[in-house]
Amino acid sequence: MTATLTAPAPLKKKPGKPKQNREAILLFLPALLPVLILSVYPLIRGIALGFTDARAGLHVQTNFVGFENFSKLLHNNLFWDSFRIGVIWTLSVTILQFVAALGLALLLNTDLKFRGVARTLALIPWAMPPVVVAIMWRLLLHPTNGPVNEILQKLHLTDHPINFLGDFSTALPAVIVVGIWVGMPMTTVTLLAGLQSIDRTLYEAAAVDGAGAWSQFWNITLPQLRTVIVAITSLDMIWNFNSFGLVYVLTAGGPGGKTMLPMLFAYNEAFRYGNFGMAAAMGDVMVVIIIVFLFFYLRNRLRSEA
């Protein structure tokens, strides 16, 4: 929801009143213990687990093995494949859905008809269970019963049914299209909210100065949208990089590992082969990638804003 993007309102009261601090801590108590046990501790333990040889089993005996898991990963072709596929998936979904969403948001910000319909439809894909989205697209892309093949053949774009999700060359692109279908509406609505908060008088002033639509877009719309764009694209990238359920049900990483996203790879390591340590190491690698990405992306984007 767009709530992610709205900062909490600034506080008016002065800080540091001891009585207030005590009251705040009391109000925090019911949440503190469960969160520490079931979220903070597992997170730290999970990071540490990547440096051990932990395996699934009734009595988990773990030994510290240093960087062994990481060096095994680096020598594993499947790891590199999943990493490459993860990057292709993340970048294609995020960039394509952003470009499409920006165009759409600009359209919906004008006085076109259908705006209401488009906005109402917009959040449904985002709220649908990912498993249902995956099932729906399996029905759509089905080689013999699916309407997509039916339409392509009617239009004579292909003479034989395509097994989109089962063919080596089409599986990843097909999965990417589904990813865009899920994510684009949410991005559109967020960008639309950003567009609507831009001060109209800026455009009026620019029009008086003789700026055309193009120049208004580059010099007003994009700079004014910068914070929203940075926020939504970085969230989209992280969500896409970490995504699991959608592709798990669409292809389970197949055919032949062509859609094996990093999370699917890690899940298989942990819960199919029982290599908890290896899966955690994979998680560690993903965290490092996300942190490095966030650092450079946010630093560059937000600095140029200031």
Partner 1 sequence: MRTKPATRFLQYVAVICYLVFLGFPLLWLISSSLKSPQEFASITPSILPKHFDLSNYSDALNEQGLVRGLGNSLQISIYSTILVLIVALPVSYALARFRSRLRPLTNGWILVSQVFPVILIVIPLFMILRPLHLTNTIPGVVIVYTVWSLPFALWMLQGYVAAVPRELEEAASVDGAGRIRTIVSIVMPLLRPGLIATAMFTFISAWNEFFFALVLLQDPQLKTLPLVLARFVGAEGQVQFGPLAAASVLATVPSLVFFAFLQRRLTSGLLSGAVKG
31 sits near partner 1 (criterion: CB under 8 A): yes
10 Å CB burial of residue 278 (0-12, 13-18, 19+) is: buried
Closest CA to 119 of 172, 55, 195, 229: 195
**Minimum distance, C-beta of residue 148 to partner 1, in the bound complex (Å):** 9
**Minimum distance, C-beta of residue 21 to partner 1, in the bound complex (Å):** 5
**Minimum distance, C-beta of residue 225 to partner 1, in the bound complex (Å):** 19
By beta-carbon proximity to partner 1, the closer residue of 135 and 222 is 135
CA 85, 91, 92, 97 dihedral sign is positive
How far apart CA 248 and CA 250 sit, in angstroms, is 6
Task: Extract the tokens encoding 224.
Answer: 């004014």
10 Å CB burial of residue 30 (0-12, 13-18, 19+) is: exposed
CA distances from 144 to 109, 148, 164 (A): 40, 10, 11
Q: Considering CB under 8 A, how many residues would be counted as binding partner 1?
A: 95
54 sits near partner 1 (criterion: CB under 8 A): yes
- Interface positions, 239-258, toward partner 1 (CB under 8 A): 241-242, 244-245, 248-249
86 sits near partner 1 (criterion: CB under 8 A): no
**Minimum distance, C-beta of residue 217 to partner 1, in the bound complex (Å):** 14
Closest CA to 274 of 93, 14, 56, 25: 56
- Interface positions, 213-242, toward partner 1 (CB under 8 A): 235, 238, 241-242
- Interface positions, 5-24, toward partner 1 (CB under 8 A): 6, 8-9, 11-13, 15-16, 20-21, 23-24
Which residue in the set 75, 127, 201, 208 belongs to the binding site for partner 1 (CB under 8 A)? 127
